[in-house]
Amino acid sequence: MADSDGGVGKRPRGAQVEDRKVDWRRWKQERKAETKKWKEIKLLKKLEKQRMREQAEQEAQTQEEQKEERGRPHTLSVALPGSILNNAQSPALRSYLAGQIARACAIFCVDEIVVFDEHGEDVKSVEGDFEGIGKKGKACVQLARILQYLECPQYLRKSFFPKHEDLQFAGLLNPLDSPHHMRMDEDSEYREGVVLDRPTKPGRGSFVNCGMRKEVQIDKQLNPGLRVTVRLKEPQNPEAKVRKGTVVSSQHPRAVSGLYWGYSVRLASCLSAVFSECPFKEGYDLSIGTSERGSSVDQVTLPSFRHALVVFGGLEGLEAGVDVDPNLEVTDPSVLFDFYLNTCPSQGSRTIRTEEALLISLSALRPHIEEAVKTPKDS
């Protein structure tokens, strides 16, 4: 169809420019709307990602809290004089006595054993004659050595205990059979191991013998010969030549997973050093002395605690340790402790030996300790 200018379908030039402007404006508006929409989608995606991240963090925190709930924050320490070995009639019986102490402590989940010298060699003066470490000193070291030997998982003993006369009969002693003494194919979240002297690729961790068929590659490079606690990675790849794991503190299995993970052994040169060299920075917040002259354990209510210490005497009781300790100005041992307890009221023998008192006392104290730790102490 012809228009008034004779042109076919032609529009005036001004109108065409106007149309183009309208198209351009519309195009710009559409782009703007699209960009806005796109930005909104991007923001929504970002918010969704953030929400997912927060949810994952929350879940991880809940898992960690649940693990902490499984954990045991409190510890139990026991102190006793090494001189008790001197009451044994033969070298074999000396070892057996040490074995009894180790087993009693493992049975009652003792975390630390302190062997103190009740004859107090920690004299601050240099006056007088030095008589050498002698038999008494040796009893402390021997007791500590046998306790350490029995605590060490069997598969690691060769690495940490060279032949020594103190351990002559230790191989015959009853094993502790505690949770960290794993059989080869036993499944466990944690294992004790020794770092091997094997080259590793740069950026990779050391190899550790954890007493399993496969070695474990840990997350760090550590010095060969070091004893480590390893948390094994799950799920494991059955095809892999090695297992993967991370090194954790030896406290981790107890504090996080509530497992009994053996005891540490500490030597103290006198009774006062049992307290003053406490490895916990807060110190022991509950101390119990044991004696037939103490008050009955039956009526006691123990307060909530973080680190408890139960102290035993030797042949002459705790008085012997107090008398010779140059750092103590008291004569009555009961004043050193929060509680001074008779754990076997109405005993039928004139004396209860230290190794017997250990089993009796830990057994009598157990329900009181359980009650006390029901309300955890903040610190």
Ligand X SMILES: C[S@@+](CC[C@H](N)C(=O)[O-])C[C@H]1O[C@@H](n2cnc3c(N)ncnc32)[C@H](O)[C@@H]1O
Residue nearer to ligand X on the CB measure, 153 or 333: 333
- Per CB under 6 A, which of residues 355..374 are in contact with ligand X? 357, 361
- Per CB under 6 A, 153 contacts ligand X: no
- Considering the complex, what minimum distance in angstroms separates the CB of residue 322 from ligand X? 11
Residue nearer to ligand X on the CB measure, 259 or 318: 318
Q: Among 60-68, 125-133, 261-269, 287-295, which window interacts with ligand X (CB under 6 A)?
A: 287-295
- Per CB under 6 A, 310 contacts ligand X: no
- Nearest alpha-carbon partner for 196 in 212, 207, 210: 207
Pairing of strands 75-81, 112-116: parallel
CA separation for the pair 195, 218 (Å, rounded): 9
- By the 8 A CB rule, do 322 and 330 touch? yes
- Considering the complex, what minimum distance in angstroms separates the CB of residue 110 from ligand X? 15
Per CB under 6 A, the list member of 16, 351, 366, 371 interacting with ligand X is 351
- Per CB under 6 A, 257 contacts ligand X: no
Per CB under 6 A, the list member of 139, 182, 274, 344 interacting with ligand X is 344
Question: For residue 159, what are its two tokens?
Answer: 């690495």
Question: For residue 270, what are its two tokens?
Answer: 């006198």
Q: Using N-to-C axis directions, what is the helix angle for 134-151 and 91-107, rounded to 10°?
A: 50
- Per CB under 6 A, 318 contacts ligand X: yes
- Considering the complex, what minimum distance in angstroms separates the CB of residue 267 from ligand X? 19
- Per CB under 6 A, 287 contacts ligand X: no
- Considering the complex, what minimum distance in angstroms separates the CB of residue 339 from ligand X? 11
CA separation for the pair 137, 130 (Å, rounded): 13
Q: Using N-to-C axis directions, what is the helix angle for 354-372 and 91-107, rounded to 10°?
A: 10
- Nearest alpha-carbon partner for 120 in 154, 170, 94, 81: 81
Q: Among 32-40, 53-61, 299-307, 342-350, which window interacts with ligand X (CB under 6 A)?
A: 342-350
Residue nearer to ligand X on the CB measure, 62 or 351: 351
The region that residue 321 occupies, defined by phi over 0 for left and psi between -120 and 50 for alpha, beta otherwise, is: alpha
Per CB under 6 A, the list member of 156, 347, 363, 368 interacting with ligand X is 347
Question: For residue 68, what are its two tokens?
Answer: 């902490």
**According to DSSP H, which parts of the chain are helical?**
13-70, 91-107, 134-151, 157-160, 252-257, 271-276, 318-324, 354-372
Q: Among 102-110, 131-139, 221-229, 307-315, which window interacts with ligand X (CB under 6 A)?
A: 307-315
With CB under 6 A as the rule, give the number of residues binding ligand X: 19
Q: What are phi and psi of 293, to 5 degrees?
A: -95, 5
- Per CB under 6 A, 100 contacts ligand X: no
- Per CB under 6 A, 312 contacts ligand X: yes
Binding site for ligand X (CB under 6 A): 290-292, 312-313, 315-318, 342-344, 347, 351-354, 357, 361
